[in-house]
Structure 1
């Protein structure tokens, strides 16, 4: 059954799919009924799932599921991934590519290739306070609390750690 995200409990499971570009107003308006239809028809072993689906920040498809009502099965997760593929084809976007990370920037949402992460940190264009959209959050509560979160407070923290000091007792160059 289709519900709004506000109606889902904090423990609701979420899946976040990041698009490779922002959707236009026309695309968002056109896709809305398809998101509602998916959430309404989504089932697990014949049981209706209490779910929500929406785009946030014009670029993230977020699917939420109240697992207290019924949990997702392997088949129902497969159904959701097929739906994501259908959206990719219908909108000519990529939602399943994990090669880019999303950050909040002065110009809005900015995507950065994973392999360019170290260079961006070294160049100072990405810092520990840069808002990072960690799409691996698992629950609605986590999403609301830390999506986005300062990059330095996520798994990216290791990129901002200071270089290790020379070990004690090691000879110093003359």
Structure 2
């Protein structure tokens, strides 16, 4: 069953998928009914799941699930990945490719692979204080309180410790 994302409890499980490019307004409007339909129809072993799906920052698909109502099974997670693949094809974007990291620099999302990240740190374009979208977060509470977070306070901290002061 569909639940508005802001009505999911803090402990709700989330999956974050980063798009290869930002969606424009028309794409966002067009995809909203698909997101709601997926959440409404998503089941686990025939049991309705209390779920939601939305795009944040025009570039991140976030699927949320209140596991207190019912938890996701392997089959239901497979169904969600199939849905994400369908969205990829429909929108002409990559959502499952995970080699690029997202940073907020000068109000814009910047996607970097590891080599580009090292170069950007060396050049001073990315610092330990640069907001980083850690897409490995697993709860709505983490999403609300720590996304984005200063890069130096995430698993990327070691990248900044290697830099000379």
TM-score class, shorter-chain normalisation, is over 0.9
Q: What is the rounded CA distance, in whole Å, between the counterparts of 1:106 and 1:42 in structure 2?
A: 38
CA distance in 2, matches of 1:88, 1:113: 20
Counterpart mapping for 1:1-174 below 5 A: 1-162=1-162
* Structure 2 alignment gaps of length 5 or more: none
State the distance in 2 between where 1:8 and 1:107 align.
Answer: 28
Deviates more, 1:2-11 or 1:80-89: 2-11
After the TM superposition, list the runs of 4 or more consecutive aligned residues in structure 1 that deviate by more than 6 angstroms. Answer: none
Query: Could you tell me the TM-score, scaled by structure 2's length?
Result: 0.97
Larger radius of gyration: 1
Distance of 1:91 and 1:6 partners within structure 2? 25
> After superposition, what is the alpha-carbon deviation per residue over 1:97-152, rounded to whole angstroms, capped at 9, x for unaligned?
11110000114111111222211111111100000000000000011110000000
CA distance in 2, matches of 1:153, 1:131: 10
Shift, 1:162, TM fit? 4.8
Structure 1: runs of 5+ lacking an equivalent: 165-174
- Total equivalences in the alignment: 164
3-state secondary structure, aligned to 1:160: helix
Q: 1:66 to 1:155 in 2, by over 3 A?
A: same
What CA RMSD, in Å, does the superposition of the two structures yield over aligned residues? 1.1
Residue 35 to residue 119, structure 1, CA distance change in 2 (3 Å): same
3-state DSSP of counterpart to 2:35: helix
What is the TM-score with the length of structure 1 in the denominator?
0.92
> What is the alpha-carbon distance in structure 1 between the residues aligned to residue 5 and residue 155 of structure 2?
26
Deviation string, structure 1 residues 38-91 (Cα, Å, up to 9, x no partner)? 000000000000000000000000000000000000000000000000000000
